[in-house]
Structure 1
Amino acid sequence: MELIRQRRDGTIMTTDSIDDLFVEGLQELYYAEQQLVDALETLAEQTDDETASQAFSEHRDETQEQVDRLEQVFEQIGEEARTREEQVVKALIDEHEQFAQENDGDVLDRYNMGIGQKTEHYEIAAYGNLASLAQKTGRDDAAEMLAETLREEEEALEEVTEASEQFDEEQVAD
């Protein structure tokens, strides 16, 4: 059965199997995580709120480990570690760059926390989907590694959400 996916840019991708879909998903996550390593460094540097800045910095290091883990998954399934541009992450990064050029201070800090939350939600969905596909296709070791990253992304979302809530409470108190 041929699976057809239409990308955001209008191009059509065809996939012949669930295995191909899994590999394409890995390639998109590999692209996303590589982009996010740099983006998280930018967020940490731009954000004046110490709690949020520290969370972005710590997650940057963790994201680099996740890039390494994805490379292990590629190796384990016998595929070359390649990227496939992922439109959601690309759009989030582009949106952030434009916003950051026009804003600063508390507004940029809060925006950065929000974009961090959006990114974590995307990653949670992507890793959850791939972990499930890996398990269903008998790639148990890959499923375990992807599930480990999924847990890390859920924890990162919790951290940035807590930082956002604390920031909001401080802003209301001022």
Structure 2
Amino acid sequence: MKVESLLDLFIHDLSDVYSAEKQITRALPKMTRAASDESLKQAFKQHLEETQGQIERLDQVVEAHNELRIKRMKCHALEGLVEEAQELIESTEAGPVRDAGLIGAAQKVEHYEIATYGTLVAMAKKLGLDQAASLLAETLAEEKSTDEKLTTIAEKQ
């Protein structure tokens, strides 16, 4: 996709995060199965539900603005983070060490999403896409909350 304007960049980043969210819906069940700590398993299950809602919210962003169309693309950054998580699962035994690694892997994903959604909110405001900005800000708040929950779980281990 050729990016020639702020709107083009917004659509590119929106498409990228849509791909990321889809990848996350496939990765979280694997991470849930690999976790040992029950609170971590619950956090992953809850985040899967939130992620499905976030995909619906991205669809709402597109529906609310006629000029927006999600492009088919792959988020390579998320693909790499998911691969790292899979390597961690394969190279560690189930237990506290793997759980600590899974928390770290999940927080890397959260930080990527926080950065992406923060940028999207700012661009949406600049473009006058107020409904998009509001919807994306909801997701940004959820991502920050998930990151905080993961930190709390890590500190209790």
TM-score, normalized by the shorter chain, greater than 0.5 = yes
Instruction: Indicate if the aligned counterparts of 1:44 and 1:53 stay in contact, CA closer than 8 A.
Output: yes
Work out which of the residue numbers 88, 93, 103 in structure 2 matches 1:104: 93
Distance in 1 (alpha carbons) for counterparts of 2:129 and 2:69: 16
> Which whole-Å CA distance do the structure 1 matches of 2:104 and 2:72 have between them?
26
Work out which of the residue numbers 93, 112, 121 in structure 1 matches 2:82.
93
Contact 2:11 2:70 in 1 (8 A): no
State the 1:102 CA deviation: 1.8
Larger strand percent: 1
Alpha-carbon distance in 1 for matches of 2:93, 2:62: 40
1:17 matched residue in structure 2: 5
Query: Counterpart of 1:84 in 2: which secondary structure?
Result: coil
Letter in 2 for 1:97: Q
Correspondence for 1:5: none
Q: Which amino acid aligns with 1:63?
A: T
Is 1:73 the counterpart of 2:61? The answer is yes
2:135 is aligned to 145
Q: Match of 2:124?
A: 134
Q: 1:42, CA displacement in angstroms?
A: 1.3
Determine if contact 2:84/2:105 at 8 Å carries over to the other structure.
no
Unaligned runs of 5+ in 1: 1-12, 168-174
State how far apart, in whole Å, the 1-side matches of 2:3 and 2:107 are: 30
1:50 aligns with 2:38: yes
Match of 2:48 among 57, 60, 69: 60
Determine the C-alpha separation between the residues in 2 that align with 1:104 and 1:83. 37
Compute the displacement of 1:93 (Å).
Answer: 0.6
Give how far 1:14 is off: 4.2
CA contact (8 A) 1:30 1:82 kept: no
Aligned to 1:9: none
TM-score (norm 2): 0.94
* Secondary structure of 1:104's aligned partner: coil
SS at match of 2:31: helix
- Asked which structure has the greater RCO (Cα within 8 Å, sep 6+), the reply is 2
Superposed CA RMSD: 1.2
Aligned length: 155
